[in-house]
Chain A
Amino acid sequence: MVDSPSAEFDSFVRHRSPALLRAAYLLTGDQHLAEDLVQSALARTHRSWRRLHDSGNAEAYTRKVMYHLQVAWWRRGKVAEVLPGELPERGRGGDHSSASALKLSLRAALLKLSDKQRAVLVLRFFEDRTEAEAAEVLGVSVGTVKSQTAKALARLRVIAPELSDLHAANGVAR
């Protein structure tokens, strides 16, 4: 039995939303903004579902829209940056070394990066994309991905030195 386009879209949303939300959360730093971002990307996917489904590019399209929407929203200043709560205090024995403290630090640090810097880090080190793939998703040159990655890592070292063990060295191009 062949599923209807509607059922196929429903299945796509059910199966892929969790993964999309994870990336969106890293891009936005906020549950609700992440939901809004994925929702908007999925809506555009739905508008072109037949074409995308036939070509087998639905997920790639949705991810690309998501990254572009994020860049566009930030560029237009329509999405207020949700700053995290207080940073975990440093130098208090076990607290600082705990995974939860590191997570909070990383979240805070990501939100202090520019949208492009955060996007390249998520693409390169969360989605594990090559520089060329990241460039394609963002619609920029490989050189831009290289420079933005280097700047992002350098900035992380400054704004979140407590994360030094997370970014011990610059990424090596693939």
Chain B
Amino acid sequence: MNAPMDNLRSGLADLADDVNPVDLRDRALRTSHRIGVRRTVLTSALSLVLLGSAGVTAVAMTGGGGADPDTATTPSVSASPPSPSASARPAVTGDYYFMREAGTTKLELHVLHESYPCGTPEPGTCEPVTRTEKLRTITHPADDACPWQTVTVSPDGRQVAWVVSADDPSGASGDLMIADVRGGTAQKRGSRVLCLGTGNVVWSPDSTRLYVGKMDNAGTVGVVDASSGKFSAMERDAWKEARALATGPFRGTIGEGRLTVTKADGTAPRSVPYETEHGLDAVVLGVSHDGRYAAVSTDAGDPSRRLHVADVIDMTSGRPVTFPVGEASSVWFLPDGSLVVGVSGDPRKVYRLDADLRVVAQFTVDKAQLGNRMLVQAAFG
């Protein structure tokens, strides 16, 4: 018997009457299409998911460490036209992971290795050498969006983790699977792991643990041991800090019309006004190792994995950074201050820029080998 609550029932019903009915058919189809496109179309722009990598992304910026963004004094970002720079010393190798949906139950994982015969990029004299390699195939139930949302290669490049939605019909969470990146049987290493959104599965820099959130009433977060599957719950602030440190010394958030960058532990906030184009949710995909630049995703209105960069904001001015190679659609920040950038105008081109945003190297993704595949992650050494 619920009679005593009938007034609450009628109150809720009256309140629900305030919503205006709208035709959502076209919007739902567009969102559905967008989800599908994300899974199948060639990277129209090289995408970004920062990979926590020991010696790479978890190391402070050369020549100054993790400068406090509140006090950093850095030169303005008036980007110069593309011109080689002999002084740049960006990282000398890169691994770019591509995925392709093969039918409704398989994902193919590929990698493109980038290296420089002379050790470092030397514009005009030391061009990058690239080679591609097919890694494993990931099988999953039909129409399961979780794997695409979560496939993440470990920083050492040996293991890959993903979530399969298992018995959660909402597709919002599932079993955490880990496997050798080159094949073999996947092992279940967790359950009810959240899979929607960006960065729900983050490897620790030493490739032994993964930071995840759980779909439960308490909003549990914690870390999973990759070998045993043992889950250890963490206090949320400590978890946020540890997860942020896996990708760099700073982290960023967007909310209430502001973009805020803090140190990984949440201290030293610096905030600038920022509104997404449609007022929908966007996420900070990466922050440079000195905290000066923040790469912000495109907004969408659904909690799919964000890959494309809408803006790179200079936190010292609040203004978008203009790159000499065109409009950036993907950006990776390296510890030495250099960047790797993909552009929307030519999605197969990858540029290496030095800390002054000058081009020091570039290569083109081979369409025959990696066409119709989406770049979902990169790691640098």
Which A residues fall within an 8 A CB radius of B?
10, 13-14, 17-18, 21-26, 31, 34-36, 38-40, 42-48, 51, 57, 61, 64-65, 67-69, 71-73, 75-80, 99, 102-103, 106-107, 110, 116, 121-122, 125-126, 128, 138-141, 144, 148, 163, 165-172, 174
A46 and B145: CB pair below 8 A? no
Q: Mark B9-47, 1 if CB is under 8 A from A, else 0.
A: 101111111111111110111111011100000000000
Distance from A123 Cβ to chain B, minimum over Cβ atoms (Å): 11
**Nearest CB of B to A153, in Å:** 8
Docked complex Cα distance between A174 and B194 (Å) = 30
Contact A77 B12 (CB under 8 A): no
Q: Is B170 touching A17 in the complex (CB atoms < 8 A)?
A: no
A21 contacts B21, CB within 8 Å? yes
A40 touches B7 (CB 8 A): no
Complex contacts, A141 vs chain B, CB 8 Å: 217
Q: How far is the CA of A165 from the CA of B23 in the complex (A)?
A: 35
| B277 close to A (CB within 8 Å) | no
The majority secondary structure among interface residues of chain A is helix
Number of A-B contacts (CB under 8 A): 183
Known: A43-B35, A172-B4. A17 touches B217 (CB 8 A): no
Residues in B whose Cβ lies below 8 Å from that of A167: 5, 7-8
Q: A89 to B2, alpha carbons, bound, how many Å? A: 30
A43 to B258, CA, bound (A): 29
- Measured CB to CB, the nearest residue on chain B to A57 is B169
Contact at A47–B281, with CB atoms within 8 Å? Answer: no
Q: Does the CB pair A17–B21 fall under 8 Å?
A: yes
Q: A77-B255, A102-B11 known; 15 other A-B pairs, CB under 8 Å?
A: A14-B23, A17-B24, A21-B24, A26-B16, A43-B28, A65-B171, A71-B172, A72-B215, A77-B253, A121-B12, A125-B12, A139-B173, A148-B217, A167-B7, A170-B4
With a CB–CB cut-off of 8 A, which chain A residues contact B4? Answer: 168-172
> How many angstroms from the CA of A64 to the CA of B21 in the assembled complex?
20
Range for the number of chain B residues in contact with chain A: 35 or more
Check A25–B22 contact: CB distance below 8 A: no
CB-defined contacts of A64 to chain B, threshold 8 Å: 169-170
A26 proximity list for chain B (CB < 8 A): 12, 15-16
Residue picked from B11, B213, B216, B253, most chain A C-beta under 10 Å: B11
CA distance A49 to B4 in the complex (A): 40
Smallest CB–CB gap between A135 and chain B, Å? 10
Counting CB contacts under 8 A, is B219 at the interface?
A: yes
List chain A residues, Cβ under 8 A from B19: 21-22, 24-25, 31, 34
Given A64-B170, A139-B168, A163-B11, also A171-B24 (CB < 8 A): no
Whether A47 and B21, one on each chain, are in contact in the complex, defined by CB atoms closer than 8 angstroms, is no
Q: Which residues of A contact B145 (CB under 8 A)?
A: 44, 47
Q: What are some 11 contacts across the A-B interface (CB < 8 A)?
A: A21-B24, A25-B16, A36-B280, A61-B169, A72-B303, A75-B219, A102-B14, A103-B18, A125-B12, A126-B13, A174-B1
Q: Residue B196 contacts which of A69, A122, A144, A172 (CB distance < 8 angstroms)?
A: A69
